[in-house]
Structure 1
Amino acid sequence: MANYVRAMNHGLERLSELPVSVRLVREIHAELMHGVRGGRLTPGELRTSQNWIGPAGCTLATASFVPPPPHELPQALADLERFLHENTGLPPLVQVGLAHAQFETIHPFLDGNGRIGRLLITFLLTEKGLLSKPVLYLSHYFKRRRAEYYERLQAVRDQGDWEGWLAFFLDGVCEVSQEATATAAAILRMREDYRTRIAEHLGRAAANGQRVMDHLFDQPIVSVATVREWLGITSAGANQIVARLTDVGLLREITGYARNRRFRFDPYLKLFEEPQEVRA
């Protein structure tokens, strides 16, 4: 999750100087895969061997889908990049939906293609001015309807059923937009709740507690050293602040280690793990 957030933030920052492009996608992949599962699989580099998609244990011959061979990737990605920036006359959401399906079909990396493809949606919507903040999180929609997601993509490849895919994609945008509105309201409620808790329980350290929470919205996984750097205080002081924020439920230790511990901004990240109920 931390790498996903870092990759998204990196991409959003880079959009001010670099358009959505193969170069940007490779940068984001390097950020996403650094030090995690699949990180050994050439982060940021296009694959140089054939991959395939299907049930566990399937072979190239029995795969559900075989993406283009490595030597075709440069041309396929160049065509996709050109499509992203040419004046197609298509509504922006339709163009983004088509681009996502094509990226997943090209499958240019050995690992992480699904995550990169979902980030690509956010970057394109931001670049086109449809989002000012990355609040449209389609991953939950795709996960909830995983079987249909893969079926719709495969129907494009097998039968050219772009209409079916676009209907599915646009339904997701509508559904997730409503959820995003509810999530934004939940974030505001959560922030005010924890501001009150910090003020009530941290006493003279409340100001530093509030500063830590403000930083956590940008970096929700932290260490004591990170907090020490944010506040410019001693290690002992940072340990005390982290302990007290853990006591009030703002942070949760996630390593189980006695040393080199890491903490997550638990109430915030939980809002993204389970979709919020849409309120009338």
Structure 2
Amino acid sequence: MQRENRHRAGHRIRQPEDYEAFIPSPLPPDPPLVLDNGILDLLSQADRALGRLDGSTEVLPQSDLFVYMYVRKEAVLSSQIEGTQASLTDLLEHEAREKEARSGDVGEISNYIAAMNHGLQRLKHFPLSLRLIREIHAKLLEGTRGSTRTPGEFRKTQNWIGPAGCVLAEATHVPPPPHEMMITLGDWERFVHDETPMPILIRLGLLHAQFETIHPFLDGNGRVGRLLITFLLCQKEILQRPLLYLSIFFKRNRQEYYDRLQAIRDRGDWEGWIRFFLRGIYEVSQEATETARRIVALRERHREQILNRLGGKAPNGLKLLEVLYRMPYMTVSRASEEIGVSFAAANSLARSLREAGLLAEVTAQRRNRLFRYEEYLKLFGEGTEEKETSGKGTDGEMPGSETGGSGNDENAPTE
């Protein structure tokens, strides 16, 4: 990167308290992005992969159930990036037992799902705005460890990101102070709605990185920033359903994700970030399309098994199979309610599906038995069962600790 582009993304200003904060320049970058052949090839690949993903769900018998599981996978991965220990298995088992999920790690994941669903519903009637982002943030932190970090409110104190336990002077990145932050957020919102011609995926990459640089909340920035990717794709009608989630890519390439964002601030390297971002869209779209294809094949194979092996139970077996795509963890009592048969009939049906190899029993007990749809869960399990070892942290995109004016947050990969 040439020296004259060093301050292309913004500049650092020394504050009266004797630290330097980064003030991002309004988007788009100036000098403009250099869309070389490499970026244009990646853009074309990402566009085609997204189109295939959007079209692939048309062949799914119940595309909403595909979305249902993908939202949960994203919620788990995005929360794991910030240090939660709960897995997709933990979440689905919790939901199957119909427990309240408003505390602990599973509670944080449940909040992510609630925030996602709230945002998608609101976007049907209102464009993405700072007000909606605050609503989403409030849903995200409600009743969790972040509930003391002013849910639904932009910060009024300085935060910073850096190595675990660092003080402000040692920070890797110091976002704009509150009075400057509100100006940069206004610029960010204007760019969301700016109609100047620009490929939507390029615009989306710029907006995500800028949001993480502004870091407008005391907690929850990383999770909100990742949610915004999906919201914008749906608002711009690139996707008809919320099917693209980049947390798996960011988790697999965590250090590069951090480094690319910091390179924007240090060197104005927007092009390096855009290449990384487009590669993520391409890879994740390809993987999701393949998952959709495998679901169709799995459903047809298991429908055939039920018809061939269950005899008179086959009609109810097929009904239960469809329910399992929405609730892959299932108790006998829940199965009884869902398909409208007696407990004894549901118990016999669950036993038959287990003997056919479709269900696996989770609990070795006579009462309150829990079953899971094993092969289906494997299609969504990649990366979601890995436990984080760095401890809990606040949302973000730099390893270390994020702190606000009131004191230190937990140490870990941060938002």
Interval of TM-score (by shorter of Structure 1 and Structure 2): 0.7 to 0.9
Deviates more, 1:102-111 or 1:151-160: 102-111
Q: Structure 1's 111 and 253: CA in aligned 2 closer, same or farther, altered over 3 A?
A: farther
- Greater helix share, 1 or 2? 1
Structure 1 CA distance for aligned equivalents of residues 202 and 252 of structure 2 = 22
Q: 1:175 aligns with which of 276, 283, 301?
A: 283
**Paired residue for 1:79?**
187
Structure 1 CA distance for aligned equivalents of residues 138 and 311 of structure 2 = 42
* TM-score, with structure 1 as normaliser: 0.76
* Equivalence map 1:59-138=2 (5 Å): 59-138=167-246
Q: Structure 1's 204 and 11: CA in aligned 2 closer, same or farther, altered over 3 A?
A: farther
Q: 2:164 aligns with which of 56, 77, 93?
A: 56
Q: Structure 1's 231 and 72: CA in aligned 2 closer, same or farther, altered over 3 A?
A: farther
Give the aligned residue type for 1:76: T
Give the aligned residue type for 1:175: E
Q: Structure 1's 23 and 56: CA in aligned 2 closer, same or farther, altered over 3 A?
A: same
Q: 2:382 aligns with which of 266, 274, 278?
A: 274
8 Å contact from structure 2 (residues 129, 189) kept in 1: yes
Q: CA deviation at 1:139?
A: 1.3
Q: Structure 1's 245 and 133: CA in aligned 2 closer, same or farther, altered over 3 A?
A: farther
**Which has the higher Rg, Structure 1 or Structure 2?**
2
Instruction: Say if 2:257 is the partner of 1:143.
Output: no
* TM-score, with structure 2 as normaliser: 0.54
8 Å contact from structure 2 (residues 249, 284) kept in 1: yes
Structure 2 CA distance for aligned equivalents of residues 236 and 69 of structure 1 = 63
- Greater strand share, 1 or 2? 2
Higher relative contact order (CA 8 A, sep 6+): 2
Q: 1:33 aligns with which of 141, 153, 174?
A: 141
**Paired residue for 1:156?**
264
Query: Percent identity over the alignment?
Result: 56
Measured against aligned partners, the alpha-carbon deviations of 1:71-101 in whole angstroms (never above 9, x if no partner) come to: 4443322221111111121110100000000
- How many residue pairs are counted as aligned between the two chains? 274
Structure 2 CA distance for aligned equivalents of residues 71 and 237 of structure 1 = 64
**Paired residue for 1:20?**
128
Deviates more, 1:182-191 or 1:83-92: 182-191
Give the aligned residue type for 1:182: E
Q: Structure 1's 176 and 23: CA in aligned 2 closer, same or farther, altered over 3 A?
A: same
SS at match of 2:163: coil
* Structure 2 unaligned residues grouped into runs of 5+: 1-75, 77-90, 92-109, 384-415
